[in-house]
Every structure is written in structure tokens, then in C-alpha cells.
Amino acid sequence: MLIRTADDIKPSEITPEHVYRSRRRFMREALALTGAGVALPAAALPGAWLDERSVLPGAPLDETMTSESDATSYNNFYEFGTDKGDPAAHAHEMTIDPWTVEVSGEVAKPGKIGLEDMLVGIDLEERIYRLRCVEAWSMVIPWIGFPVKKILDKFEPTGNAKYVMFETLHRPSEMRGQRSLFSSIDWPYVEGLRLDEANHPLAIFAVGMYGNLLPKQNGAPIRLVVPWKYGFKSIKSIVSIRLTETRPVNTWNDLQPREYGFYANVNPTVDHPRWSQARERRFPTTLFRPNWIPTRMFNGYDEVAELYTGMDLSRYY
Ligand SMILES: Nc1nc2c(c(=O)[nH]1)N[C@H]1C(S)=C(S)[C@@H](COP(=O)(O)O)O[C@H]1N2
Ligand SMILES: [Mo]
């Protein structure tokens, strides 16, 4: 089981040392944030962030974890440029405190809420997931986060809600890619999921990785992680969540509809028009040792298959 409550965890399997250490480090970071004189809303950081037991260990994955330095220096975050090194070089220009998220559309309780207030009462879990980019490289990353469903439920989706749309921050003054005259993206970056996909227990919002708060280049302070879909679905630095009745637009589908779909489930049998999706370069990867491995259906997360029964996944790519 990937999802476990504290009660499920036997003392014998409690917290491999690296998780324990990273948990301590994470809490130090969280504390450092409050101590830094940052203005926080009344509720300040949720107690869960500061509680020793709050980051529940995830199920281990029997694959080599990508190094933290690779995962934080080889990124896609076009708001800061299109080169893999641009996000790490320029994302520091984005300010993230305070951070508010607007929840709107088909919900009984719409509203704009400070991130810290939104997270009150939500337990954090470590989830070690594969991340498979549509460009055919992949990583294994230990996220810290919680199921998307936990946030959506707080705002009470109505019976009309069928999809969820997410939007990244739009702030050209701090995001040089949004100022670029050469960008073909219609900002802000937007993504969407069917509501039942968003409610699947594997779909999480991440607020940390490698035991620390999320680095800006990885989508601080809150991003989506949907491990069975190509990486572009996992939208970063989210400021808006909108429940809708009709299917929302998503940025890459809007740009190149033949190449990038709405579903974007990892699928080794449906090739990208310009390259095969049957294999991927798993980090660490170099020119001379690319480390190709076979790509797995749903990125190896077979438990999501039931979301797509009866659908032709070569048509709904
Ligand atoms: N807002 C925003 N989110 C984004 C992107 C982006 O350019 N802008 N790139 C996506 C792509 S293509 C990938 S592969 C992942 C990469 O996440 P990582 O840099 O944390 O590995 O972020 C996704 N989320
Ligand atoms: Mo990607």
C-alpha cells in the first residue's frame, strides 16, 4: 500500500533512517521559514508541518533515487526559460511569500486562501514516485505532499464538477520566460484533470522534496504531481484551482494538439509523432551512458487503469 496512516505503520518498519533525517531537515526548513520574519496569516504554519509524526514515510521504491542535485538542476519550467538550466538559474527571481490560492467554479465554498491556511489539518506524506517526461527522460523523486482530494474536499465540489483546472502564477516581472518575445505559450501555464483522476489517491500536491521545502525551480510553494502521466501535467507554482463542468484547456495541448493530448498518460505503445515513447533515459544519464530503460504503461502505476476502462488510449492520448 502506498497510502498509509500512522496506525498502519508497524514499529518494525518505522522510518528508514534517510526518511527520518529528511523529516528533521524538512521541519528545520519549515521553522526557518517562520523565523525569517516572513509575514504569515494569523494561522501561520499549520501544526502538521511542525509535528514530528506529520511526514508519514512512503512505500519504498526498488529503484535508484535520482540525486537531489540532478532533480533540482535539470528542469522544465518555461516561465524561466526553455533551457534545462534556466529554472535553477532564474527561479529565485520569483517571490513566494505570501502565497494565495484561489479555488473557484463548481464548489460550494469558493474562496481565496493563504497557502498556510489551506494546509491546516492536512498531514504530510513522503511519496517516492517516478517522473516520466514526454521528452523520454525520467527520474525517481521523493516528494513531500498530500492527496489532491484532501484540498478539493475542503471546498466541496458540486454535482456539476467534472474537471479540475490548475493555473500557475502569472507574474512577468519575476518570470523572465513570460516576458520573452519568443515564447509561444499563452501564459499563464494551465493544466487540467478529470475530477476522478484528481481524486485518485496517487495524485498529490507536493510542497517539498528530498526532505526540504520545494525549491523554486521545482514549483514552490505548491505543485501538482501526477505520476502516471507525462511530466507536463504536473503543473508548478499553482495559484488557481477551478472546478468545471467542461474539459479545461491545457497548455501543451493548446500549443501542439497532435503531439500532446489532454490525458497524457504514460504509454509505451503510443509514440510521440517525432520520437518513440517505448523507452526512456533514466537519470543519471550521460551521452556515453544514456541508461535507456523500457517505459511502462501508466509509468508502472497499474492501479490507475480502472480510470480508463473502455477508453481507446491511442485516441485519447
Ligand atoms: N508552470 C509550469 N509547470 C510545469 C512546466 C512548465 O514549464 N511550467 N513543465 C512541466 C514539465 S514538461 C515537466 S517534465 C515537469 C518537470 O518537473 P521538475 O522540473 O520538478 O522535474 O514540470 C512540469 N510542470
Ligand atoms: Mo516534461
Q: What is the pLDDT of residues 10-58, one digit of tens each?
A: 444 433 444 444 554 554 455 444 333 333 333 333 434 434 336 888 8
Q: What is the pLDDT of residue 92?
A: 98
CA distance linking residue 127 with residue 141, whole number of Å: 8
Distance 88 CA to ligand 1 centre (A): 12
pLDDT band at 59 (very low <50, low <70, confident <90, very high): confident
Segment 174-184 shows an average pLDDT of: 95
Distance CA 102, CA 167 (A): 10
pLDDT bucket at 76, cuts 50 / 70 / 90: very high
Q: Which atom of ligand 1 is nearest to the CA of 71?
A: 21
DSSP assignment, residue 253? H
**pTM score of the predicted model:** 0.87
CA distance 148 to 224: 8
Which ligand 1 atom is the nearest neighbour of the CA of 139? 21
What mean pLDDT do residues 55-84 have? Answer: 95
Distance CA(121)–CA(98), nearest Å, equals 19
Going by alpha carbons, the residue nearest to atom 5 of ligand 1 is 77
pLDDT of residue 25: 52
Cα(225) to centroid(ligand 1), Å? 10
The residue nearest atom 11 of ligand 1, judged by CA position, is: 232
**Ligand 2 geometric centre to CA of 39 (Å):** 34
The residue extents of the domains of the chain are: 6-308
Q: Tell me the CA–centroid distance for residue 300 and ligand 2, in Å.
A: 17
Separation of 4 CA from ligand 1 center, angstroms?
Answer: 27
**What does the pLDDT look like over 286-306, one tens digit per residue?**
999 999 999 999 999 999 999
Atom of ligand 1 nearest to the CA of 188: 1
- What superfamily would CATH give domain 6-308? Oxidoreductase, molybdopterin-binding domain (3.90.420.10)
pLDDT per residue as tens digits for the range 208-259:
999 999 999 999 999 999 999 999 999 999 999 999 999 999 999 999 999 9
Mean pLDDT for 75-96 is 98
Atom number of ligand 1 nearest to Cα 224: 24
